[in-house]
Chains A and B, each alone.
Chain A
């Protein structure tokens, strides 16, 4: 992009404007396009899809009035929230209270800088990509603590503290699981990790060895906890703390927290897809770079969205665990398991630097067998319960 801008300057489009300023404005404009064109929309549509997915699981319909099939529901919710009065409680710490949503949004949106959508569609291919993403998504802790404290509400405070303890604790198993992949590829860069995989399931790191398979599930659990999703949604437990650390927020500020929660689903899923599921890799079906990149983008998006829907499914099904059980799960179970995986992967990489092909393929077969068994059991239960597949509200 820099070359393109230099060309424009040379052609005299930005007469009298210093080049640094041109670059800066271009960067901000690009960021705005990404954020407003993609991130916020994805977060918004995810709220709508979540409600429809929940509704189907819960034997009801969900929002279907606003726009065809209710697809504009999220716009209506967003506009409504923007039009609400933004209350700042009188005894609240006004500066921190107003600042907290921005810190949280910053931590969330900054992760998109290093998000590899396709082989060229990446804002900055940092050579410490995955470390950067882990670090930056931890900024939300600061925002949540600020929100909880500044609300001057004991329930918000409890929610904020719980969330801080949860996110900080679950960083450890998450980081350890991420580093098993880093051990295999020897690089932290997102694009390099994807390029080390292939498009086919038997080239994904998910099936590389039993250790990475377990790593995937540990990372999944830890990232669920990072994103404050059920079963780890104690900080915003509706039935206990009203709304946890966002109780005192209304209007646009609440909208920010709201968007971050749902947008985070996408970030979590994207991390998992990049590290374990082959990222944007597709078979080389065309030489046209535009088409190829489009195909890669679509592949990445679809894979991430499967993860998002899986997380919605889990939220609809499972109850939430208590804070002491959450802590003991992390420290007594996940951290030791993650360490074992780490050491095991290190030994594996030392013995087979290029991976053990037979085991890789055997794991793939095993993985798919598990998947098919899972769907077989789902069908078995569906048939046994005699559930209605097509639900009509008029019956």
Chain B
């Protein structure tokens, strides 16, 4: 039996004359909790899954091909759509790879503006990730509380660059606009209100026995597996591997900033389970708040953008840079042939690798756990398919 290109065998497991079959379920592209347009073909024996085969491509928009048509400058708004939940990092990635090819230096204040925007976006992205994870597990309230905070961040970023989701804030050579007049005070006021909220989330979710029972020990990924399957970001760190691009291959002004890299510690459950991946995101939000406060103290004055010619023609060659996005190490690769249009652009995202490991970890889990696994790996469909 062929199902969309997969060969699905119907297994007859005979026990004492009783013939049973595995059930093939389709967790289709339209589903309330697959975080976008993802499809899984699930082979289940009752409630226990034997395999969950991912089927990607429902959100493919040929973004990388479009880069070859719109040019270096024109591609910046398209990068927002590569991962619209954490768009600042995509902007930063494209900016950095173009600057590497064209050998352009971004002024210091521009770098600080980039980091501020990126860390604000990291908090917003983690809030969405945590909120939807608890929503999928069944608690409907923390989702609204997380989005209440996210709304405030959206309002702040709207003052910064005019948009709430697809920012197009950064340019090749720096950022488009400097911080607005009261921005620092407003963000500081927000952070003063936000950090106690994390304590509230802790009381409501993190120590809630039902939540812990649902997440602890589910889909344990060992450090070796995580490295072999190419996991990055919070997924990798939750398994115990201490790797963060901001620390290990620093870029922008991160060398001047002081922050910790949270690594999984088995508070409830096992190292590398879904609970660890959730807990890491909560701690990363705290660290982002810390980074933001330091940036406000340390920002120098000056221009925010280096003038780059309108017809930007970087010399022929290629460059690969990494950015620590909310979902982990996002790699941007661009090949230039000396014209104002890139010859090739490629994005490597963390969610794509996470899709691959779902098949491996979902064997033997229950149907309800599949949702937990997808949510804990923080998979967003636009990143998977581009």
Contacts and interface: CB of A to CB of B under 8 A. Distances in A.
A239 B136 CA distance: 5
Given A231-B210, A319-B134, A57 B33 contact: no
Interface in A71-95: none
Interface of A: 54, 57-60, 154-155, 158, 162, 230-231, 233-234, 237-240, 242, 315-325, 381, 385-386
B314 to A, nearest CB: 46
21 contacts: A58-B140, A58-B141, A58-B144, A59-B144, A155-B25, A158-B367, A231-B138, A239-B138, A240-B371, A316-B140, A317-B141, A317-B204, A318-B138, A319-B137, A319-B139, A319-B208, A320-B137, A320-B138, A321-B213, A323-B47, A323-B368
Interface in B3-43: 23, 25, 31-33
Contacts of A386: 193, 196
Contacts of B368: 234, 237, 240, 322-323
B259 interface: no
A230 B366 CA distance: 19
A162 B137 CA distance: 17
Contacts of B32: 238-239, 242
A389 B280 CA distance: 31
A379 B63 CA distance: 52
A242 B31 contact: yes
Nearest to A162: B47
Interface residues of B, number: 35
A324 B369 CA distance: 11
Interface in B112-156: 134-141, 143-145, 148
Interface of B: 23, 25, 31-33, 47, 134-141, 143-145, 148, 193, 196-197, 199-200, 203-204, 208, 210-211, 213-214, 366-369, 371
A322 B366 contact: yes
B326 to A, nearest CB: 22
A143 B204 CA distance: 36
Q: Sorted from nearest, which 7 A-B pairs have the closest CB atoms?
A: A320-B138, A58-B144, A239-B33, A319-B138, A319-B139, A239-B136, A319-B137
A324 B366 contact: yes
B20 to A, nearest CB: 14
B138 A385 contact: no
Nearest to A391: B148
A386 B193 CA distance: 9
Contacts of B47: 158, 162, 323-324
Q: By CB atoms of chain B within 10 A, which of A60, A231, A237, A323 has the most?
A: A237
A385 B148 CA distance: 15
A79 B10 CA distance: 45
Nearest to B24: A154
A58 B210 CA distance: 19
A278 to B, nearest CB: 31
A58 B145 contact: yes
A170 B133 CA distance: 28
B196 A385 contact: yes
B366 A321 contact: no
A386 B194 CA distance: 11
A324 B49 CA distance: 14
Contacts of A319: 134, 137-139, 208, 210-211, 214
A202 to B, nearest CB: 33
B73 to A, nearest CB: 39
